Amino acid sequence: MTQPHLLIEKLRVAVGGKEIVRGLDLLIKGGEIHAVMGPSGTGKSTLAQALMGHRRYEAEGKVLLDGQDLLAMRVDERARAGLFLAMQDPRKISGVSNANFLQLAVKARAADGKGVPVPAFHRQLRARMGELGLADSFADRSVNEGFSGSEKKRNEILQLAMLRPRIAILDEIDSDLDLDAMKGVAKTVLDLCGPELGVLIITRCRQLLTFIEPSHVHVMLGGRIVKSGGGELAAELERRGYDWLEPDAAEGGGGS
Protein backbone atom coordinates (compact mmCIF):
# COMPACT_ATOMS: atom_id res chain seq x y z
CA MET A 1 0.00 0.00 0.00
CA THR A 2 1.26 3.48 -0.88
CA GLN A 3 2.25 5.98 1.78
CA PRO A 4 -0.63 8.31 2.79
CA HIS A 5 -0.25 11.88 1.61
CA LEU A 6 -2.43 14.80 2.73
CA LEU A 7 -1.67 18.09 0.96
CA ILE A 8 -3.32 21.33 2.08
CA GLU A 9 -2.64 24.51 0.12
CA LYS A 10 -4.08 28.00 0.62
CA LEU A 11 -7.01 26.65 2.63
CA ARG A 12 -9.56 29.23 3.70
CA VAL A 13 -12.52 28.38 5.91
CA ALA A 14 -15.47 30.59 6.82
CA VAL A 15 -18.33 30.05 9.27
CA GLY A 16 -21.46 32.14 8.78
CA GLY A 17 -19.58 34.42 6.40
CA LYS A 18 -16.74 35.04 8.86
CA GLU A 19 -13.32 33.81 7.74
CA ILE A 20 -11.59 31.74 10.44
CA VAL A 21 -8.80 29.92 8.59
CA ARG A 22 -6.90 32.31 6.33
CA GLY A 23 -4.69 30.63 3.77
CA LEU A 24 -3.21 27.60 5.51
CA ASP A 25 -0.60 25.24 4.01
CA LEU A 26 0.28 21.84 5.44
CA LEU A 27 1.70 18.53 4.22
CA ILE A 28 1.29 15.30 6.21
CA LYS A 29 2.74 11.97 5.10
CA GLY A 30 2.46 8.45 6.47
CA GLY A 31 4.70 7.86 9.46
CA GLU A 32 4.62 11.53 10.49
CA ILE A 33 2.97 12.99 13.59
CA HIS A 34 2.14 16.68 13.26
CA ALA A 35 0.94 18.78 16.19
CA VAL A 36 -0.93 22.03 15.64
CA MET A 37 -0.82 24.15 18.77
CA GLY A 38 -2.35 27.48 19.62
CA PRO A 39 -4.66 29.25 22.07
CA SER A 40 -8.46 28.93 21.98
CA GLY A 41 -10.22 30.71 19.13
CA THR A 42 -7.38 30.62 16.63
CA GLY A 43 -9.03 28.19 14.19
CA LYS A 44 -7.59 24.79 15.15
CA SER A 45 -10.90 22.96 15.54
CA THR A 46 -12.32 24.83 12.55
CA LEU A 47 -9.49 23.33 10.51
CA ALA A 48 -10.36 19.83 11.74
CA GLN A 49 -14.07 20.17 11.06
CA ALA A 50 -13.52 21.67 7.61
CA LEU A 51 -11.18 18.85 6.59
CA MET A 52 -13.81 16.30 7.64
CA GLY A 53 -16.51 18.16 5.72
CA HIS A 54 -18.83 19.57 8.39
CA ARG A 55 -21.58 21.39 6.50
CA ARG A 56 -21.34 24.58 8.61
CA TYR A 57 -17.82 25.23 7.35
CA GLU A 58 -17.31 26.79 3.93
CA ALA A 59 -13.89 25.74 2.66
CA GLU A 60 -11.94 26.71 -0.43
CA GLY A 61 -8.41 26.04 -1.60
CA LYS A 62 -6.68 22.71 -2.30
CA VAL A 63 -6.97 19.66 -0.05
CA LEU A 64 -5.78 16.39 -1.59
CA LEU A 65 -5.69 13.00 0.13
CA ASP A 66 -3.63 10.59 -1.96
CA GLY A 67 -4.32 12.86 -4.93
CA GLN A 68 -8.10 12.88 -4.39
CA ASP A 69 -9.91 16.20 -3.95
CA LEU A 70 -11.36 16.03 -0.43
CA LEU A 71 -13.30 19.28 -0.76
CA ALA A 72 -15.37 17.73 -3.56
CA MET A 73 -16.37 14.75 -1.36
CA ARG A 74 -19.19 14.19 1.10
CA VAL A 75 -18.31 13.34 4.71
CA ASP A 76 -18.86 9.60 4.19
CA GLU A 77 -16.70 9.67 1.05
CA ARG A 78 -13.88 11.35 2.97
CA ALA A 79 -14.09 8.64 5.64
CA ARG A 80 -13.98 5.86 3.05
CA ALA A 81 -11.00 7.55 1.41
CA GLY A 82 -9.16 7.14 4.72
CA LEU A 83 -9.70 10.36 6.71
CA PHE A 84 -10.61 10.05 10.40
CA LEU A 85 -11.54 12.69 12.97
CA ALA A 86 -11.48 12.08 16.72
CA MET A 87 -13.80 14.81 17.94
CA GLN A 88 -13.63 17.08 20.98
CA ASP A 89 -17.22 16.32 21.98
CA PRO A 90 -18.46 13.15 20.24
CA ARG A 91 -22.22 12.62 20.09
CA LYS A 92 -24.07 9.80 21.80
CA ILE A 93 -26.02 7.23 19.80
CA SER A 94 -28.71 5.71 21.99
CA GLY A 95 -29.59 2.07 21.41
CA VAL A 96 -26.50 1.28 19.31
CA SER A 97 -23.76 -0.66 21.07
CA ASN A 98 -20.12 0.22 20.61
CA ALA A 99 -19.42 -3.23 19.17
CA ASN A 100 -22.21 -3.00 16.57
CA PHE A 101 -21.29 0.56 15.65
CA LEU A 102 -17.65 -0.34 15.12
CA GLN A 103 -18.44 -3.54 13.23
CA LEU A 104 -20.62 -1.59 10.77
CA ALA A 105 -17.96 1.13 10.43
CA VAL A 106 -15.21 -1.42 9.76
CA LYS A 107 -17.41 -3.10 7.14
CA ALA A 108 -18.13 0.24 5.45
CA ARG A 109 -14.39 1.00 5.28
CA ALA A 110 -13.45 -2.40 3.87
CA ALA A 111 -12.50 -2.49 0.19
CA ASP A 112 -14.52 -5.68 -0.32
CA GLY A 113 -17.51 -4.38 1.67
CA LYS A 114 -17.31 -7.35 4.05
CA GLY A 115 -14.95 -6.26 6.80
CA VAL A 116 -13.38 -8.62 9.33
CA PRO A 117 -14.95 -12.00 10.26
CA VAL A 118 -17.00 -11.64 13.46
CA PRO A 119 -14.78 -13.75 15.77
CA ALA A 120 -11.62 -11.94 14.61
CA PHE A 121 -13.35 -8.57 14.98
CA HIS A 122 -14.30 -9.26 18.61
CA ARG A 123 -10.78 -10.50 19.43
CA GLN A 124 -9.31 -7.30 18.01
CA LEU A 125 -11.91 -5.17 19.81
CA ARG A 126 -11.21 -6.75 23.21
CA ALA A 127 -7.46 -6.38 22.71
CA ARG A 128 -7.74 -2.70 21.82
CA MET A 129 -10.10 -1.99 24.71
CA GLY A 130 -7.62 -3.62 27.07
CA GLU A 131 -4.83 -1.37 25.81
CA LEU A 132 -7.00 1.66 26.55
CA GLY A 133 -8.05 0.48 30.01
CA LEU A 134 -11.66 -0.20 28.97
CA ALA A 135 -13.57 -3.16 30.45
CA ASP A 136 -15.06 -5.83 28.16
CA SER A 137 -18.55 -4.57 29.10
CA PHE A 138 -17.71 -1.30 27.30
CA ALA A 139 -18.46 -3.04 23.98
CA ASP A 140 -22.12 -3.53 24.95
CA ARG A 141 -22.79 0.05 26.06
CA SER A 142 -24.56 2.50 23.74
CA VAL A 143 -22.13 4.77 21.91
CA ASN A 144 -21.10 7.63 24.24
CA GLU A 145 -24.30 7.33 26.31
CA GLY A 146 -23.48 7.92 29.96
CA PHE A 147 -19.76 8.00 29.18
CA SER A 148 -17.41 10.12 31.25
CA GLY A 149 -15.27 12.66 29.40
CA SER A 150 -12.32 10.27 29.61
CA GLU A 151 -14.36 7.35 28.27
CA LYS A 152 -15.53 9.42 25.31
CA LYS A 153 -11.97 10.31 24.37
CA ARG A 154 -10.71 6.75 24.77
CA ASN A 155 -13.65 5.55 22.67
CA GLU A 156 -12.55 7.88 19.86
CA ILE A 157 -9.08 6.30 19.96
CA LEU A 158 -10.69 2.85 20.03
CA GLN A 159 -12.48 3.78 16.79
CA LEU A 160 -9.18 4.93 15.31
CA ALA A 161 -7.53 1.64 16.24
CA MET A 162 -10.31 -0.45 14.71
CA LEU A 163 -10.85 1.59 11.53
CA ARG A 164 -7.15 2.02 10.62
CA PRO A 165 -7.51 5.17 8.47
CA ARG A 166 -4.74 6.70 6.36
CA ILE A 167 -4.81 10.15 8.00
CA ALA A 168 -6.08 10.66 11.57
CA ILE A 169 -7.00 14.06 13.00
CA LEU A 170 -7.10 14.09 16.81
CA ASP A 171 -8.91 17.23 17.95
CA GLU A 172 -7.96 17.99 21.58
CA ILE A 173 -8.09 14.29 22.40
CA ASP A 174 -6.11 15.02 25.57
CA SER A 175 -8.84 17.05 27.28
CA ASP A 176 -10.63 15.26 30.15
CA LEU A 177 -7.90 12.60 30.36
CA ASP A 178 -6.05 11.85 33.57
CA LEU A 179 -2.37 10.94 33.38
CA ASP A 180 -2.87 7.17 33.11
CA ALA A 181 -5.57 7.49 30.44
CA MET A 182 -3.36 9.90 28.52
CA LYS A 183 -0.49 7.41 28.59
CA GLY A 184 -2.82 4.68 27.28
CA VAL A 185 -4.07 6.90 24.47
CA ALA A 186 -0.52 7.89 23.56
CA LYS A 187 0.65 4.27 23.48
CA THR A 188 -2.18 3.24 21.15
CA VAL A 189 -1.52 6.16 18.79
CA LEU A 190 2.20 5.37 18.71
CA ASP A 191 1.51 1.67 18.10
CA LEU A 192 -0.69 2.58 15.13
CA CYS A 193 1.50 5.26 13.60
CA GLY A 194 3.71 3.98 10.81
CA PRO A 195 4.20 4.21 7.05
CA GLU A 196 0.46 3.63 6.47
CA LEU A 197 -0.82 6.29 8.90
CA GLY A 198 -0.18 10.00 9.25
CA VAL A 199 -1.44 11.84 12.36
CA LEU A 200 -2.49 15.44 12.99
CA ILE A 201 -2.84 16.29 16.69
CA ILE A 202 -4.64 19.50 17.61
CA THR A 203 -3.94 20.65 21.15
CA ARG A 204 -3.56 23.71 23.35
CA CYS A 205 -1.01 22.28 25.77
CA ARG A 206 2.12 20.17 25.62
CA GLN A 207 1.40 17.40 28.11
CA LEU A 208 0.19 14.85 25.54
CA LEU A 209 3.22 15.65 23.39
CA THR A 210 5.52 14.47 26.17
CA PHE A 211 4.13 10.97 25.54
CA ILE A 212 3.71 11.31 21.76
CA GLU A 213 6.75 13.06 20.37
CA PRO A 214 5.64 14.80 17.17
CA SER A 215 7.88 14.92 14.14
CA HIS A 216 6.52 18.39 13.32
CA VAL A 217 5.03 21.13 15.51
CA HIS A 218 3.09 24.06 14.05
CA VAL A 219 1.82 27.16 15.84
CA MET A 220 -1.53 28.47 14.65
CA LEU A 221 -2.54 32.06 15.37
CA GLY A 222 -5.19 34.14 13.67
CA GLY A 223 -6.18 31.30 11.37
CA ARG A 224 -2.69 30.75 9.96
CA ILE A 225 0.40 28.71 10.73
CA VAL A 226 2.92 31.28 11.92
CA LYS A 227 5.79 29.02 12.96
CA SER A 228 6.84 25.40 12.41
CA GLY A 229 9.56 23.28 13.94
CA GLY A 230 10.25 20.03 15.76
CA GLY A 231 9.50 18.88 19.29
CA GLU A 232 11.70 21.61 20.70
CA LEU A 233 9.13 24.19 19.54
CA ALA A 234 6.48 22.64 21.82
CA ALA A 235 8.89 22.91 24.75
CA GLU A 236 9.59 26.55 23.89
CA LEU A 237 5.86 27.30 23.80
CA GLU A 238 5.48 25.78 27.24
CA ARG A 239 8.17 28.13 28.55
CA ARG A 240 7.18 31.28 26.68
CA GLY A 241 3.50 30.96 25.76
CA TYR A 242 2.26 32.47 22.51
CA ASP A 243 2.66 36.21 23.09
CA TRP A 244 6.10 36.36 21.45
CA LEU A 245 4.63 35.22 18.11
CA GLU A 246 2.88 37.61 15.77
CA PRO A 247 -0.41 36.35 14.26
CA ASP A 248 0.36 37.91 10.87
CA ALA A 249 3.99 36.82 10.65
CA ALA A 250 3.36 33.48 8.94
CA GLU A 251 6.47 31.64 7.81
CA GLY A 252 4.90 30.40 4.64
CA GLY A 253 3.40 27.07 5.51
CA GLY A 254 3.88 23.90 7.48
CA GLY A 255 4.96 21.38 4.89
CA SER A 256 7.56 18.80 5.73
Q: What is the rounded radius of gyration, in angstroms, for the C-alpha atoms of the chain?
A: 18
Give a yes or no: residue 137 inside a domain.
yes
> Whole domain around residue 140: which residue ranges?
5-240
pLDDT for res 255: 39
Give a yes or no: residue 252 inside a domain.
no
Task: Please state, in angstroms and as integers, the Cα–Cα distance from residue 155 to each residue in 97, 161, 198, 252, following that order.
Answer: 12, 10, 20, 36
20 by Cβ neighbours in 10 Å (0-12 / 13-18 / 19+) ranks as: buried
Give a yes or no: residue 38 inside a domain.
yes
Give a yes or no: residue 249 inside a domain.
no
**What torsion do the CA atoms of 33, 49, 183, 82 make, to the nearest 10 degrees?**
-60
pLDDT tens-place string over residues 211-252: 999 999 999 999 999 999 998 999 999 889 898 887 665 544
pLDDT for res 204: 82
Element (H, E) at 5: strand 5-15
What is the model's pTM?
Answer: 0.90
The single-letter code of the amino acid at 26 is L
pLDDT tens-place string over residues 96-124: 999 999 999 998 887 666 778 899 999 99
For residues 177 and 149, give the distance between their C-alpha atoms in angstroms, rounded to a whole number. 7
Give a yes or no: residue 248 inside a domain.
no
- What is the domain-level CATH number for residue 90? 3.40.50.300
Name the residue among 198, 194, 230 with its Cα closest to residue 37.
230
For residues 193 and 190, give the distance between their C-alpha atoms in angstroms, rounded to a whole number. 5
Angle between helices 179-192 and 118-131 (to 10 degrees): 130
For residues 122 and 115, give the distance between their C-alpha atoms in angstroms, rounded to a whole number. 12
Give a yes or no: residue 97 inside a domain.
yes
Give a yes or no: residue 246 inside a domain.
no
The single-letter code of the amino acid at 156 is E
pLDDT for res 254: 41
pLDDT for res 248: 64
Those residues of the chain that have pLDDT short of 70 are: 1, 111-113, 247-256
Give a yes or no: residue 116 inside a domain.
yes
pLDDT for res 247: 65
